[in-house]
Amino acid sequence: MEKKRNKTAIEKALDLIDVLKDRDAVGVTELSHILGLNKNNVFRLLATLSEKGLVEQNENKDYRLGMGFLFLEKAYIHNLGFFFEAKPFLKKLRNKTGETVYLSILHNDEVVYIQMEESKKAVLVGSRIAKRYPADTTASGKVLKSNNTNEFKLKYDFEETEPEVSEVATVIKDKSGKNIASISIVAPISRLNPNNVYKFETDLLETAKEISKTLGFNG
């Protein structure tokens, strides 16, 4: 029988981070149980990650992801060239429609919302920035998982992901025609629903095509 390879310290640290990303906060004893490590090992990992700002303790002395991940996220987004190209277009679409506009990307089977221009209306839905949602229910996820063609498709989410929240989305393409991001409008179901979504579709599609053209797409 082949001997099981011992995990490196880096692998153990990544496993620990993976546990924390799905929970608000976790104590050392629970981490030790989940990871299959003794408490001393867990304490050492936490000390190293805390020093780098990647984990922190809450008021109950349990551990959660730290502010360091926000800086890593900011650096990651900064390296997405289209992020800055798209920003003024998102703001213009928000002003035209009066609703919150998002830019999002696909990561594995989840959608991550990375940029937002928020509606100025009194009644809003919760922010999706830096949050992950199932690609199979969100409009952004559905459209990003669609085939890469020259077509700018529209996909919809009427309360599939969140009660009383709707989304309509289409893709942003790079110069090769690849779907690299989605642009979407998210609003309460009372303001965005099957009966009035047509009012948003033209502006959304035009904005997606303008951004894609800026990125070199000529389809």
Residue 107 and residue 14 in one domain: no
Q: What is the pTM (predicted TM-score) of this model? A: 0.68
Give the structural domain span for 36. 9-66
Residue 153 and residue 59 in one domain: no
Q: What is the pLDDT of residue 4?
A: 60
Is residue 72 situated within a structural domain? no
Q: What is the pLDDT of residue 73?
A: 67
The amino acid sitting at 57 is Q
Is residue 74 situated within a structural domain? no
* C-alpha dihedral, 145 to 151 to 152 to 156, nearest 10°: -50
Residue 46 and residue 117 in one domain: no
CATH number at residue 155: 3.30.450.40
Is residue 118 situated within a structural domain? yes
Residue 95 and residue 60 in one domain: no
Q: What is the Cα–Cα distance from 142 to 135, expressed in whole angstroms?
A: 6
Q: What is the Cα–Cα distance from 196 to 177, expressed in whole angstroms?
A: 30
**159 SS3 class:** coil
Domains held by the chain: number: 2
Collect all residues with Cβ–Cβ distance below 8 Å to 15 and sequence separation of at least 6: 7, 35
Tokens 């990992």 identify what position? 45
Strand 179-188 with 100-107, pairing:
antiparallel
Q: What is the pLDDT of residue 24?
A: 82
Q: What is the pLDDT of residue 81?
A: 65
Is residue 47 situated within a structural domain? yes
Q: What is the pLDDT of residue 102?
A: 97
Q: What is the pLDDT of residue 1?
A: 46
Q: How many CB atoms lie within 10 A of CB 181?
A: 26
Is residue 179 situated within a structural domain? yes
Tokens of 151: 């077509």
Is residue 41 situated within a structural domain? yes
Is residue 46 situated within a structural domain? yes
- pLDDT 10s digits, 120-179: 999 999 999 877 888 999 999 999 998 777 789 999 999 999 999 999 999 999 888 889
Is residue 1 situated within a structural domain? no
Tokens of 102: 């998002």
- φ, ψ for residue 194, nearest 5 deg: -60, -25
Residue 52 and residue 142 in one domain: no
Write b or e for each residue in 195-208: b if 16 or more Cβ atoms lie within 10 A of its Cβ, otherwise e. eebeebeeebeebb
Give me the half-sphere count of Cα atoms (radius 13 Å) on the Cβ side of residue 218.
Answer: 1
Residue 100 and residue 199 in one domain: yes
Tokens of 17: 């981070």
Residue 124 and residue 182 in one domain: yes
Residue 108 and residue 207 in one domain: yes
CATH number at residue 36: 1.10.10.10
Residue 189 and residue 139 in one domain: yes
Tokens of 155: 């996909």
pLDDT along the chain (219 residues), means of 10: 71 92 90 95 95 91 85 64 83 98 87 92 89 91 86 96 97 90 97 98 98 89
Residue 128 and residue 178 in one domain: yes
